[in-house]
Structure 1
């Protein structure tokens, strides 16, 4: 990992200058003693180092020229060496302090989160989930065992992260799973994902959990462990290919919401108690004027209205399947007493 990734540029420059001064000073001493005393390179290096460190263990007396050079070398080198060693030591200490300070800020940032998502695993699928959440401006925390990978991927992008085993209850709590709205686990093996699902479900019974399964036989086990949704990349890919064959235009329309550069989003939001929408019909809600299309309603008792009639009266607990611009959906969920129930 590059040193500049962990340290401020000013500290890196000080580290390079101090190290360069030590190397240059040692090299000058080696050349000087070789020329004044006609030593071989190894003996000249030994003499330069013992002089620079003020040990002074000379096996043979120096010549007059050697003594003059040694005095000048010691006079000039002592200050340079002291400064360089001090700067290097200070750099090491500041590195640890910097990392501790950044970690403390990260903990405070996560503690202030509520209703966020937790992403377990920063592999290709995990990074794809994080990028999607970042584009939709949703708060999330990443968990992975590889701290170097977390630093490399998350630091520049401003993503919150926790280094550790996602199946560890302490790590999940550090990621704020108690206050999180959803969790997705995309670890390499089904066994790891199963253990994460079980641990997360025991910590929060309201958490929306989405898990990845690499084998079909693991899907049922993950669902029984507490996963609300299980995604099999192979099965999902096969179904999508079949849909492209049978309904290519429908798939093109649905792909709009998933396009990287699109600001449209398909989401489901739940009407909370006290929302201004409670008791109003769909045509009186004003959602269409805000650029939002309600394509379906799921009542609290499980009844589904697809498509919903304009005179359908909305009430607390109803889930609205909404299509529209991401900014409008975010405004709807954040300001109007509606809870976003969509997972990652």
Structure 2
């Protein structure tokens, strides 16, 4: 969105700050145009000379005496009487406006919106609490583009600016902010707001704005999980239940859980990803054994067909089709190569 209507509500509140220098520039332009017309009429000079006389008179440079007749002298007196004070005050006010922190913040947010407008297949994180920050850190480590939406502008400014993360200050339950975050072009959205009702509303709005969006939401209990799923969430996570299940798995199979966690460590070079094969992929029509992915250091754990059929583990004779999802595990650079082959 490249119009004033695309600005966030916070930017709309700052419109008065932007309107002030615009009005000042309009007044200065009006003064110069009025002076140019005046000199053109009373002095009968060319348009360029009239403009020149208006500027040097208004700025009191005194490079040339514009008075050539009584009418011109009278016009200069009136012109300076009305215009000189307004001109000096306008320049002073314009300088103040350009140095105003809100003015600079407005244009910073405006540049950020322009960057967001260029994103495609990115991720949106609604809420910048502990879970939101964890999600952002994970996406950042994987070099995945994302946009954060949160009401707390100070917190976003402090954390996101330091990491060069894109953000929008505003209420994620408002469709305007979701649209400004590029939800129509996004691939997924995470709603991790503190309130279950807010998460439900975000999921409902997001599903209406992008029916094919992958939506993951946070819920506090089983009742909330059901409501958010009905609202359109692809997956709903309860931190308490998922945390309890994870602890139980550690109790029963500690070694297995430790191995699975390797891919999630900050300094890990391993990736566990879900890759979709596109129609243009060079892998379409090949057997899994013919791709030689295992020899390249990438293990295909499972294949999910477009019709929902799952191959776990997949036989080497399995033929890959467009729309299949490969669940791959391996080193980040090797997995990235597989993703590239699946998209080309």
Q: Give the equivalent residue in structure 1 for 2:250.
A: 244
Q: Give the equivalent residue in structure 1 for 2:266.
A: 260
The answer on 1:286 being equivalent to 2:292 is: yes
CA distance in 2, matches of 1:136, 1:144: 22
CA distance in 2, matches of 1:215, 1:186: 14
CA distance in 2, matches of 1:337, 1:240: 32
Q: Give the equivalent residue in structure 2 for 1:19.
A: none
Gaps of 5+ in 2: 1-91
CA distance in 2, matches of 1:157, 1:281: 42
Q: Give the equivalent residue in structure 2 for 1:321.
A: 327
Q: 1:180 aligns with which of 186, 208, 220?
A: 186
Q: Give the equivalent residue in structure 1 for 2:231.
A: 225
Deviation at 1:276, TM superposition (A): 0.3
Q: 2:341 aligns with which of 336, 340, 344?
A: 336
Deviation at 1:91, TM superposition (A): 7.9
Q: Is the 8 A contact 1:190 1:215 kept in 2?
A: no
Deviation at 1:292, TM superposition (A): 1.1
Q: Is the 8 A contact 1:268 1:321 kept in 2?
A: yes
Deviation at 1:288, TM superposition (A): 2.2
Q: Give the equivalent residue in structure 2 for 1:270.
A: 276
Q: Is the 8 A contact 2:276 2:342 kept in 1?
A: no
Q: Is the 8 A contact 2:280 2:343 kept in 1?
A: no
Q: 1:191 aligns with which of 197, 218, 237?
A: 197
The answer on 1:304 being equivalent to 2:340 is: no
TM superposition score normalised by structure 1: 0.70
Matches within 5 A, 1:1-344: 90=96, 93-333=99-339, 335-338=340-343
Gaps of 5+ in 1: 1-85, 340-344
Query: What CA deviation, in whole Å up to 9, does each residue of 1:25-50 have, x standing for no partner?
Result: xxxxxxxxxxxxxxxxxxxxxxxxxx
CA distance in 2, matches of 1:221, 1:243: 27
The number of residue pairs the alignment matches comes to 254
The alignment yields a C-alpha RMSD, in angstroms, of 2.0
Deviation at 1:323, TM superposition (A): 0.4
CA distance in 1, matches of 2:93, 2:175: 41
CA distance in 1, matches of 2:296, 2:148: 33
Q: Is the 8 A contact 1:269 1:338 kept in 2?
A: no
